[in-house]
Structure 1
């Protein structure tokens, strides 16, 4: 199952280095068990969201480590993926960015036909592969 990390330190800006890289069960360490993607999102001083993600394990992603060491923010959202559905592609890697917000989820979203009917034309805003069956893991 995927792993999520969220940190809010408002009003202080901080680094998430300990939790992402240095803790005994850091997100980087967990990515040895959840190797199918990594992502890190955060916000600048002015509230502009930034995100880096790749369909590789966090422990293999140099950008993940560099940002975990260098970036200061009041909010972090990080994710390591164990793919249960969807291909190993950037578009299926979290977090997602939309309208100035960062979003990640843990698990499979079911009932896609009902959800797509409810969303109507807004379905076009949804990113990722709409998969209706489990992958061959």
Structure 2
């Protein structure tokens, strides 16, 4: 099963070194059992999304370790992949980018043909926005469409897309993290798995790991 990491310190720009590579159960360590791809998504100071993705395990990727130590952002999303749908390629490696947002997903959505048909319902539709072959990227395209339909309301768009998938497709898990330069949204559906959230107030000491 893939592993997800999301963090927000907005508006402050910080590093996520500890959780990505230094903690005893860091994302790098978890990639030893989720070896099919590694990705980190952050935002530059001007708000431009930046993704670092490789279809290899984080612990085998020297570039991941170096960049994970130095990256600064107000929001982070990271992912180590255990492939279920789609081959090992950069196009299938999370996080994905659409409309200036970043997205990573853990779970399995079945019924790709039906999802493709739904994404193609409006003119050229949203299918051309999907460059890879994963269910995750298609789900993100559906979310992005629903956000646009709701005048940019990210939370409402996520809820609408998740409800459509739950009503029309078979699934095992809609667990996601979606980030913008100053916001983070997460969904766990269904709630059969533990959800761990660390909520820390400001202040204290800053450690550059």
Normalising by structure 2, what TM-score?
0.60
SS at match of 1:105: strand
Greater RCO structure (CA 8 Å; 6+ sep): 1
1-structure distance, mates of 2:45, 2:134: 35
- Measured after TM superposition, the shift of residue 125 of structure 1 is 0.7
Aligned runs of 1:117-128 on 2, under 5 Å?
117-120=117-120, 121-128=125-132
Number of aligned residues: 131
RMSD of equivalent CA atoms: 1.3
Distance 1:65 1:130 in 2: 26
Matched, 1:52 2:52: yes
Q: Which residue in the other structure is 1:135 paired with?
A: none
- Unmatched runs of 5 consecutive residues or more in structure 1: 132-137
| Partner Cα distance (2:108, 2:126) in 1 | 20
**Per-residue deviation at 1:130?**
5.2
> Which TM-score applies when normalising by structure 1?
0.90
Does residue 65 of structure 1 match 2:69? no
Structure 2 portions without partners, runs of 5+: 136-209
From the CA coordinates, give the structure whose radius of gyration is larger.
Answer: 2
